[in-house]
Amino acid sequence: MPRLPVSLPVAAVLGLTTLVGCQETDLDPLTTARRSSVGEFVTDNSAEGELDIRIWSMDDGSSKTTAHLRYPRPDFPRDGEVEVVLPEGMEIERGSYLRAYGEFDADGRLLADSVDLINGPNEPVIDPEWYPLRRIATILVFWDSPGLPNGEARSSMYLSDRSTHVFYGENSYGKENVIGEVFGPYQIPDPGGCSVGFIADAAQQAMIEKGHDPDDYIQYMYHFPFISGCGFGGLASVGSPLSPAADSWYNGSFGCVVRNQEIGHNYGMGHSHAYDCQDEEGNDVPWSDNCEHIEYGHPYDPMGAGCGHINVVQKDYMGWIEECNIVTAPIDGTYNLLPTELPCNGTQALKIPASDGRAYYLEYRRALGKFNTVPGVLVHLAPEQFGGGPANYILDVGDAGFLHAGDSYTDPEGTVTFEIVEEGDHAVIRVTHADGGSGSPECEGGGTPEMVDGNVGSLECNADTHPGDVTAPEVTLVYPEDGAYFKPGSDFTILAEASDDRVVAEIELYVNSEPLFKVLEEPWEYEVTNIPEGEYEFGIVARDGVNWTPSNAVRVYVTNDIPPEAEDDSGGEDGGTGEGPIHDSTMGNEPWMGESGDDAGIDDPAADSCACTSSGGRGAPAAALFGLMLLGLRRRWR
């Protein structure tokens, strides 16, 4: 979709469709502005759009969920939105398209008394072995003084060994590839309170005004200096693993827990809980019929309150563990349990039926990788089957939640006991049912697990956790050749070859040291049409989301005065290539890229790495050539 700049005062008015109770709203001007802009999507008593669900991680330790209808605004970076309070007890799946009817309250929320479901959620059917690239734009904004520095945010997201990129790669055993860029800090108008819609609108508008395209990304993280009236540290829209929601907000916070948790909400994960339970005599016990819910109670999981690995119930939901990684133990026996942190083919979640119809999920941690905890077996309670993000609870068993060799736990109803027999490279669990159980061990989705050394479950694992991406892509600009001549008005295609050990996320064309166009998928090519007379230097930067590599530089000449030695190889009116004069346009130790655009040193990795100019210089002549190129160069693929 084309991005058309809009004035910030207009964006400010139209971005305030959802105020979430953080400030008083002048309803009449807001309603007038909103309805004049969105036409049939919002009327006096209804709103139509795609249902967006958001989870608010509140400062007081609580959580709340709100619903929003998002509708298109063609001339704005983001969709418009209206908060809607659905009728009590009504559950509609996120991503459904609907029209809600009711009355607007003083905070601009539609209090719905009836809903027409127009269409169910549009979620793609994708092979579960394949996960799409998680392209994330992290946008830093401020209005008084800058908050989070760009370099610190980039390190937290992509570069450090405890970055979000490494976190999701290690937790998913390589299935997730979180990539992207950090933009800003951008100064935006003061939102006047906790208007997250306005902040998102202004952030994307600033991004566009600096020459960047939000459509290159599928998720957006908005970080802003702390606003005391918001009441939340992190906020996120809720999606699903293969259809992630787009937006998350960070109120002065950007630590390991909050940034990885809010992105987890985008993928549909809920919070990881705990219980505070007592028996009939008032003694503390791991689980009983007298338990208090603790929203963020899991101390080792960022979907709770820690920054170790995400627990195996959530990993099951995400599809990171599957088949014989998850084994049900319905009968007596001994079962192998492999470490949570390693890519394995054997059991990493041992499911044992609990007395209330749920299941115990046992996992074994060995303090491996970049996001480790102390070793031991953790015990969770969760539904045996779940659709959306599962309600999961860690039980306070053993030593700070960890069972060790010799420890055991018995269900409050006495239906099953499990004991930790061994700890080492793997754990061995003895399961004893009161009646011996029935059936046979089964892998998730069907199939029978292997038997190894008399125990149920394969022991096949990688030796190490999935590593961060440290290998840069390779890229070559293959056409045109260095020193080529073209006649004015020629058409030709710039061709590049790029490869990476994981994925080439994008390539970007530079003309006379200025970034011009990105291509996000193969073929890696750009069409040039009707090129004006002049001298141009082309270069390509390939990125894998973390690392980047510049190509060889290519100097071309567009002129009617083609030397005889080059004329022989000319392509006639369409131009051609020849040896031409010899030019010093190879990379060597003198990169052809200088600082890039308005965000020099901020959002282009190349700008962080060199302060030299191209071999052709970057003064007024280069700027003039760059301007001319905009007339004749267009991107073929996006």
pLDDT digits (tens, 9 = 90+) for 142-151: 999 999 999 9
Question: Residue 360: which residues within 8 A CB-CB, separation 6 or more?
Answer: 350, 351, 352, 353, 354, 379, 380, 381, 411, 416, 418
pLDDT score of 590: 32
Tokens, residue 134: 């998680």
Band (617; pLDDT cuts 50, 70, 90) = very low
pLDDT digit string (tens) for 206-242? 999 999 999 999 999 999 999 998 999 999 999 999 8
- Residue of 554, 264, 237 whose CA lies nearest to 390: 264
pLDDT score of 567: 66
522: left (phi over 0), alpha (psi -120 to 50) or beta: beta
- Residue of 461, 353, 365 whose CA lies nearest to 411: 353
pLDDT score of 626: 34
Look at domain 474-635 and name its CATH class.
mainly beta
Residues 586 and 584: their CA atoms lie apart, in Å, by 6
Domain boundaries, the chain: 8-119, 134-266, 276-456, 474-635
More confident residue, 81 or 616: 81
pLDDT score of 90: 84
Single pTM value for the model: 0.80
pLDDT score of 450: 95
pLDDT digit string (tens) for 538-575? 999 999 988 999 999 999 999 999 888 776 554 433 44
Which has the minimum average pLDDT: 80-89, 278-287, 519-528? Answer: 80-89
pLDDT digit string (tens) for 479-497? 999 999 999 999 999 999 9
Average pLDDT over residues 406-417: 96
Give me the architecture of the 8-119 domain, per CATH: Beta Barrel (2.40)
pLDDT score of 88: 87
Q: Report whether pLDDT(251) > 80.
A: yes
Q: Report whether pLDDT(280) > 80.
A: yes
Average pLDDT over residues 165-179: 94
* Residue owning tokens 């041992």: 350
Which has the minimum average pLDDT: 75-84, 255-264, 286-295, 522-531? Answer: 75-84
Do the two domains 8-119 and 474-635 of this chain adopt the same fold?
A: no
Band (103; pLDDT cuts 50, 70, 90) = very high
More confident residue, 243 or 602: 243
**Mean pLDDT estimate for the chain:** 82
Question: Residue 444: which residues within 8 A CB-CB, separation 6 or more?
Answer: 316, 322, 323, 324, 325, 326, 327, 328
Residues 345 and 467: their CA atoms lie apart, in Å, by 18
Average pLDDT over residues 1-8: 28
